[in-house]
Chain A
Amino acid sequence: MLALIILFLTALVTLFVGFAKKPLLTLSLSVLGLLGTAAALICQWYHPSDFLSSYEGVNMDGFAILFSLVAIIFTILIIFSGFEQFKSRLDHTADYIGLLIFSLFGAIVMVSFQDMFMFFLGLEILSIPIYVMAGARKDDPLSSESSLKYFITGAFATGILLFGIAWLYGATGTFKIYEIQQFFMEAEQISSLAYVGLLFILSAFLFKIGAAPFHFWSPDVYDGAPAPVTGFMAAVVKLGAFGAFIKLFTIAFSELYDFWMPALTFLAILTMFVGNLSAIRQVRFKRLLAYSSIAHVGYSLITMVVLTNNSALNLWYYLFSYGFATIALITVQMIVNDREDRIEAFKGLGRANPFVGFVAVVALLALAGVPPLMGFFGKFLIFADAISQNPALIAVALLNSGIGIFYYLRTVIVILQKPGVDNEIEQSEFKTTPLQLIVLGICVLAMLFGGGLLMVH
């Protein structure tokens, strides 16, 4: 709870500091607050006590702390890398950062909830700032479009979710997830209300994480939203949604595993194929990232499908590795800064700015799952965990990884090419800021040596 309070106050302070119109001050205060939140979480890890222990809606258990810490790290990285853009609208700098922090707040609530009520609140706190942020570039029609699309589909999904929660409540008579679990364990006969409610909740989750066929919003929204927001959606929102997903389904719905597992298996396969196949022919970088993220959702869903003792940690590690790669790529995209966001604009990056090119290549290879990068270990953990239970699914996943390598490598090749001579695409200057370089440095270190984390757990 302490962490949540600190985080909330940080967001408030950030908003008000914004009136001073000193971006650096805003940045440093907000990052300080985020670090304070992280510190509070770490304290919580070592001394699991809480001064508001009577409150049962949220519980900062180990699971929640792990997911929250990663979310905080990602948020800091994204604020750093997007700072240049935030700064350009002086009167809104603090709003951007504050909204991101509010959204992070929602994400943390989502991974630490204990009842459906808090869960729903968390989801809304997570989503609403993002609806706004997606439209942050007010003069850009694409941005407004993405915001509107996200809002409409999101509102629809929220409605479905609430509907589902209501049905579930109707069936079980409780909001608390452990009581729901208890109910399913003891119930002699489970009402169909519960099943339908579960499916509705599942649909809402699939929407949030962007799994087929609920993924359609994500390419448009990723494409239209400002780059830092895209990164935030890919890294933090996904993390929060997945955290809540696995928590809810491993606790509340664990007894109904046999019911939802086949459906999820099918959707995981569908998601992988849709993501990878659509990505093959993309020419815009953020759309490529969007589809790649859909494909990665497919791989992540495998942890849910097989559900072993390691699932939560594997998922965590996978999202951790995925987040670093995505944030690195988003940062690189901001550095390239092509107005139309063409992949072609990356041409010559490797020669013009070797470090940035190197990071981009490493990140793409990490997404493709090339050893010894962190992305490989993430995939490996998931696949190794699932192979004995569901070899066919892993075969499909491997096939998809193969397809994935194609478009990642194609982008790598573009990056490594000589700067083009055709005048159609004017060369970007590849301007970097120190903060972006820090982000890239952290990301590349994580991707190169993140495999070492496995030694710890």
Chain B
Amino acid sequence: MLRSANFVGLLYLNLMSDVQDYIPIVLQSLVVLAFVVGTLVFAPKLGPKLSSAKKDANWECGIEADGNARFPISVRYFVIAILFVLFDVEVIFFYPYAVNFQALQLEGLMAVLIFVGFFLTGFIYVLKKGALEWEK
């Protein structure tokens, strides 16, 4: 029955049974789209417009733009940034664990300990490797 339909139509057919469920989402999408487009289109038309060289600059924070944005930054920035993300993610895992602490009992504790253990090992490795030393 599906075999002769084209791809898009086929998706549609497949989802048809519960298509009414998606009507609110579709409506909301339309509203969002209309709001964004409407704001962008009408806002400049409605308000007064004053332009000057300073205001038209694409980065205005009171300091004169100087030099090129693309200059090399020490790789340590990135190393530290990525290590931060790693350990940050680790911390995120604690939230669900904390909520389920009672339910998971001893097995859960062991799992988390192993997990933290690995991260600790990683941290020791990072330290020993000297990745966090700013100057070497």
Residues of A within 8 A of B (CB): 12, 15-16, 19, 189, 191-193
Contacts and interface: CB of A to CB of B under 8 A. Distances in A.
A189 B10 CA distance: 13
Given A19-B128, A192-B2, A12 B121 contact: yes
A343 to B, nearest CB: 36
Interface string B79-106: 0000000000000000000000000000
B14 A193 contact: yes
B121 A192 contact: no
A366 to B, nearest CB: 40
B11 interface: yes
A193 B7 CA distance: 11
Contacts of B128: 16, 19
B120 to A, nearest CB: 12
B125 A192 contact: no
A193 B13 CA distance: 12
Nearest to A98: B125
Contacts of A189: 1-2
Nearest to B128: A19
A341 to B, nearest CB: 28
Nearest to A92: B129
B48 to A, nearest CB: 47
Nearest to A19: B128
Interface of B: 1-2, 7, 10-11, 14, 121, 125, 128
For the complex of A and B, 9 pairs with smallest distance between CB atoms: A192-B10, A19-B128, A15-B125, A191-B14, A192-B14, A12-B121, A192-B2, A16-B125, A192-B11
Nearest to A190: B2
Nearest to B118: A12
A7 to B, nearest CB: 15
B8 to A, nearest CB: 11
Contacts of A19: 128
Contacts of A191: 14
Contacts, number: 14
Contacts of B10: 192
A220 B10 CA distance: 40
Contacts of A193: 14
Contacts of B11: 192
A166 B105 CA distance: 31
Given A192-B2, A192-B10, A192-B14, 10 more contacts: A12-B121, A15-B125, A16-B125, A16-B128, A19-B128, A189-B2, A191-B14, A192-B7, A192-B11, A193-B14
Give the most central of A16, A191, A192, A193: most B CB within 10 Å: A192
A19 B125 CA distance: 9
A182 B1 CA distance: 23
Q: Most chain-A CB neighbours within 10 Å: which of B1, B7, B125?
A: B125
A198 to B, nearest CB: 15
B23 to A, nearest CB: 20
Contacts of B1: 189
Contacts of B2: 189, 192
Nearest to A171: B14
B119 to A, nearest CB: 12
A12 B7 CA distance: 49
B74 to A, nearest CB: 15
Contacts of A15: 125
A19 B126 CA distance: 12
A189 B14 CA distance: 11
B72 to A, nearest CB: 15
Contacts of B14: 191-193
B89 to A, nearest CB: 15
A284 B1 CA distance: 54
A400 B1 CA distance: 41
B91 to A, nearest CB: 21
Contacts of B7: 192
Contacts of B125: 15-16
A402 B37 CA distance: 62
A19 B10 CA distance: 59
Nearest to B125: A15
Contacts of A16: 125, 128
Nearest to A12: B121
A193 B2 CA distance: 12
A15 B123 CA distance: 13
A38 B66 CA distance: 61
14 contacts: A12-B121, A15-B125, A16-B125, A16-B128, A19-B128, A189-B1, A189-B2, A191-B14, A192-B2, A192-B7, A192-B10, A192-B11, A192-B14, A193-B14
Contacts of A192: 2, 7, 10-11, 14
A169 to B, nearest CB: 15
Nearest to A95: B129
A243 to B, nearest CB: 26
B21 to A, nearest CB: 15
A192 B14 CA distance: 8
A84 B125 CA distance: 24
A189 B11 CA distance: 14
A191 B10 CA distance: 10
B130 to A, nearest CB: 10
